[in-house]
Amino acid sequence: METRDLRPGDWPEVARIYEEGIATGNATFETEVPSWEAWDAAHLAEHRFVAERAGRVAGWIALLPVSSRCCYAGVAEISAYVGEEARGQGVGSELLATAVESSERAGIWTLQTGVFPENAPSLGLLQRFGFRVLGTQERIGRLHGVWRDVVLLERRSEVVT
């Protein structure tokens, strides 16, 4: 497996994997994959990676700014998806390790994310990488008419001070 920068030409595979995540009902509040243009505008260009196996994208990870305010310049939200056929095979670990290293090299001191409590594999992976649970936002949003909770997690860098 190779982890490398996500390129625009990867979008069809990235979108496919995103769609597979949406279909689980436990990965995101999104119900449709955005256009490349919308996705590209929302994510930090220098912190987007794919894991590739046998010439095919198996998963992706990217960081988003949490705010345009300068005081939050070192805080980013993490978004990651692993393709259905590659889940449970270490792809998420490889991607998360790459994103953590990239973020710290860039001076990002906090990574944060929100995960549905039903998504035990993601919660476990994040905690293995030093993310801690801050709490649960109860009934924070609806997905297909059903109120959902979100577990908030963050990872503070021990390198960036």
**Averaged pLDDT in 10-residue chunks for the chain of 161 residues:** 97 98 97 98 97 96 97 97 96 98 98 98 97 98 97 97 84
Does residue 116 belong to any structural domain of this protein? no
User: Structurally, how many domains does the chain consist of?
Assistant: 1
Task: Walk across the sheet containing 146-156 and list its strands.
Answer: 2-5, 48-53, 56-65, 75-82, 110-115, 146-156, 132-143
The 3-state DSSP class for residue 69 equals coil
Please give the pLDDT value at position 78.
98
pLDDT, position 161: 84
* CATH number of the domain where residue 81 is located: 3.40.630.30
Within a domain: 151: no
Q: Which pLDDT does position 149 carry in this prediction?
A: 98
Q: Is residue 104 part of a domain?
A: yes
Residue 42 domain-assigned (yes or no): yes
In a domain, 127, yes or no: no
Is residue 88 assigned to a domain? yes
Q: Would residue 137 count as lying in a domain? A: no
d(CA 151, CA 129): 16
- Say if 140 falls within a structural domain: no
Q: Determine the structural domain holding residue 67 and report its residue range.
A: 2-111
